[in-house]
Amino acid sequence: MRFFIDTASLDQIKEAKDLGILDGVTTNPSLMAKEGISGEANVANHYQAICEIVDGDVSAEVISTDFESIIEEGQKLAALAPNIVVKVPMIRDGVKALARFAEMGIRTNCTLIFSAGQGLLAAKAGATYVSPFVGRIDDINWNGMDLISDLAEIYAVQGFETEILAASIRSALHIVEAAKAGADIVTCPLKPILGLLKHPLTDIGLEKFLADHRNVAGG
Ligand code: G3P
């Protein structure tokens, strides 16, 4: 399974890269706004800065919602760097754009996926990735992880090449569950990734190893 970081923060991206496990980046308009990035030129510059740090895929989301504008905006984003993937919302014109981008050889990530039907349609339209939002489904007391399993089953049975990019991942446990459910990639902030390395018995065990070593060395 690949690990993407879900942020527009250059510092967090660098920190994840430094950990040696970073395969890519996803962003969205809310994450760009959180970094105070706005305006077409600033947004373009910021994506280029991200692509200079990361070799893997970087999802750049369109803010257009009609077909022609999605295509125009997506082409501009895709031209910024070879590793840009155009992120398109699961709306009627978005699905149409996914199919057109596929014909054009532009890779896509269909976002705001909340049902197996939406994921099926995005794959049929030729999306490179789909982003099912696990945490936001959990937020309404449904089981977000069931959607990952359903999509993994559907894509395997039907032979779709679309990859499942589990998004809205909020915890280390979510990452582990997404791996078991068949996600190809997880995307999340740095904190859940760092949460994976924590276990109290590891800390206690290491403390004892080092204390035993010190005792012999000192004695
Ligand atoms: O990748 C989608 C993600 O950014 C949404 O996460 O935590 O806002 O639901 P969240």
Give pTM, 2 decimals. 0.95
Q: With a 6 A CB cut-off, is 27 part of the ligand 1 pocket?
A: no
Instruction: Kindly give the distance from the C-alpha atom of residue 69 to the centroid of ligand 1, in angstroms, as a whole number.
Output: 24
Sequence-ordered strand ranges (E) for the chain: 2-6, 24-26, 57-61, 84-89, 108-113, 129-132, 163-166, 185-188
Residue 169: what pLDDT? 98
d(CA 16, CA 176): 18
Q: With a 6 A CB cut-off, is 28 part of the ligand 1 pocket?
A: yes
Residue 217: what pLDDT? 75
Average pLDDT over residues 19-41: 95
Q: What is the pLDDT of residues 193-213, one digit of tens each?
A: 999 999 999 999 999 999 999
Q: What is the pLDDT of residues 100-157, one digit of tens each?
A: 999 999 999 999 999 999 999 999 999 999 999 999 999 999 999 999 999 999 999 9
Q: What is the pLDDT of residues 51-108, one digit of tens each?
A: 999 999 999 999 999 999 999 999 999 999 999 999 999 999 999 999 999 999 999 9
What is the chain's mean pLDDT, rounded? 97
